[in-house]
Structure formats: structure tokens, C-alpha cells
Chain A
Amino acid sequence: MLRGLNVIISFPKGNNMSVESTAQILTAIQSRSQGVKELVKATQRRSQATVQLVHALRAQGLIASERKAGGRGRPRDVLRVTPLGIEYLEAYSRLRVVPLRATEGELRKAVEDARYAGRLAARGVDTFRAFMELNAFVRAAGHAT
């Protein structure tokens, strides 16, 4: 479910469609009106799964299909994003832009610390005990004169 919308977006039981998948499909359709076949190609998803997703999105009112006559042959169904779908995408963009607080260096340090903790555990050291000892040490250092 995506907060900030005045609708609750849910999917039929057994459908594992995520917010990200929904946004991906909507973005692909929005960038170019296309049929399901082209959509499968654009999103690199399995065709059966894509058909199911398209059905689910249509049922939710996020997309609609229009019959368009081509130059030759039968008219084809082309998908388009509805105003509700556009609202969904806008809410998704607002929520997705969450800046990372940690720097690359800080994340690297966290990785090093985790590897060290992993090595300690592999050597049979009780990491929770090490944590308690570290806490005790820091507290003692705080009281040291």
C-alpha cells in the first residue's frame, strides 16, 4: 500500500505485486503507450506474470486499455496510465526520494566492523558478551579521571 493516496491499493490474494513492480510497470506504460507484448520486452518480465500484473492494475483503475487501429491488420489494445495511476506514480516518487544519511566512508566502516564481529564469532567469541564488555569499558572511561 502506498500512503498519501486517497485510495488503498491492494491486489488479489496470491498476487505478490510490490509497490516497486507497480511503479515500474506504470512508468514503462507512461513513457510510451504500448501493448502487453511490448511491455514484456520493456520490463524484461515473464509474459504470464506481466499479463497478470496488467489485469491487476486495470482492476485497480491505475491503467486502462484503448483499442487503436493500426495501418494494417486488426486493431490492437494499447495500454495507458489513468489519472489515478499518475497520482500513484507521483506519490511513489515523493516517497522514494529518501537521501542516504551515511557517507560511503561510514558504510565502509560498518562493513569492516561487521566483518570483525563475524571473525570474532567464528573464533568462538560471544559477541554479545564483547558488546557488554565494550559498554562497561566505555562507561568506565566516562568515569575515569
Chain B
Amino acid sequence: MSGLLDTLRRFTGLLDRNHVDYMVIGGYALPFYGRIRATLDLDVAVAVEDDEFRSLCSRAEEDGYRVSLGSPLNPYCIYLDTVTGFEVEVWRRPDGIRWDGETLRRRRRFSVEGLGIWVMSPEDFVVTKLARPDRSAQDEMDVKSVLERSGADLDWRYLRVRAENAQVWGILQTINGRT
């Protein structure tokens, strides 16, 4: 098993044991919906309140993680898995995403080499990529690849509502209309 997959297995195991709803976001969600590109950034969004988050951090430390706060602009923590040596970026508020029952209902379950993981829906993936304050050309390329590969399966009504709430519907239309 690769160290990265082992990291994912250990981390989702930690969340499952603590009954924390989560979804894999970012580059690790991309191969399910769009293109395949290499990245080491393992991002996971967790649905927890402030006090639960602090308690999760404590339990993670007991489990061999070293937790450190990320950028104050991007509210995520970095969990260093001291067993595998890899890091997990743990997000409580993914950019542009309203964490609610709908977000959780729409996440998708995938099985990877016997490991079942929850992955952010392609619609929310598109929104969070475009809503990043530091959105790059790569983010737009990721979105374009999802539109190309999964466009026919997207719930455009839901996507539009979420994109408008995040104020990225205009840029999404632009990307969708290009090439």
C-alpha cells in the first residue's frame, strides 16, 4: 500500500471512530470526476463545531498526529501523520462551500483498494475550486476537466444555486463556454 493511501486510511479511520462526517476534497477528489494529475496535497473537510474540532485535534494527537494551524486566511489545520510521514490538510470551512445537510447528502462514496471513502460531490468540487481566494490557472483547469468528463452527470440546478451563493457562477459560465 502506498504511504499516501495508508495516510488516507488512517485518517478516515480516525474520523469514523470519532463519528465525524467528512469528505475528501481538492486534488484527491479530482480523479473521480475530472483529469488525473499528481499532487501530494491531501485535503479533507470535516463537519464539526469549534469544540468538537478541538476535541478531534486532541484525539488525533493521541493517535500519533501532530496538529498545527494553517494560514489564518484559509481556516484549515495540518495533521502530520507521524506514522506515515505524510500531512493531511483538514478543512472546517472549504472555500465557497456551505456545510449543510445537502452538502453531506450529495457527497459520494467510493471504494479504493478496499478502502471506502466519502468524496465531495462534483458540483461542490467545482464551486470550492472557483471560490478559492488564491484561485490559480490549475484550479480552473481542474474545473474545466470536471465539466468535460462529468458535465452530463452534473446537477446543474444545484450547481447554479451553489455557484451563485459563492459568487462564482459568472466565472463558471466563462470556463464552460471556452474552447
- Give A contacts to B, CB under 8 Å: 1-3, 18-20, 95-96, 98, 100-104, 106-111, 113-118, 120, 126-132, 134-139
Contact = CB atoms under 8 A, between A and B. Distances in A.
A113 B35 contact: yes
Contacts of B169: 18-20
Given A107-B179, A117-B36, A135-B2, A128 B31 contact: yes
A117 B167 contact: no
Contacts of A19: 164, 167, 169
Please classify the interface of chain A as helix (H, G, I), strand (E, B), loop, or mixed, using the class held by over half of its residues.
helix
Which of A110, A116, A137 counts the most B-chain CB atoms under 10 A from its CB? A110
A114 B34 contact: yes
A107 B140 contact: yes
Nearest to A119: B149
B34 A129 contact: no
B37 interface: yes
B56 interface: no
Nearest to B115: A128
A132 B141 contact: no
Contacts of A18: 160, 164, 169
Given A102-B140, A110-B144, A135-B39, A95 B167 contact: yes
Interface stretch (B10-18, B44-52, B64-72, B170-178): B170-178
A116 B174 CA distance: 23
Most buried by A among B39, B110, B141: B141
Contacts of A108: 179
Given A100-B140, A102-B140, A111 B112 contact: no
A102 B137 contact: yes
Given A101-B139, A107-B175, 20 more contacts: A2-B167, A18-B160, A20-B170, A98-B171, A100-B171, A107-B140, A110-B34, A110-B142, A111-B144, A111-B145, A111-B148, A114-B34, A114-B145, A120-B36, A128-B32, A131-B28, A132-B4, A134-B37, A135-B2, A135-B38
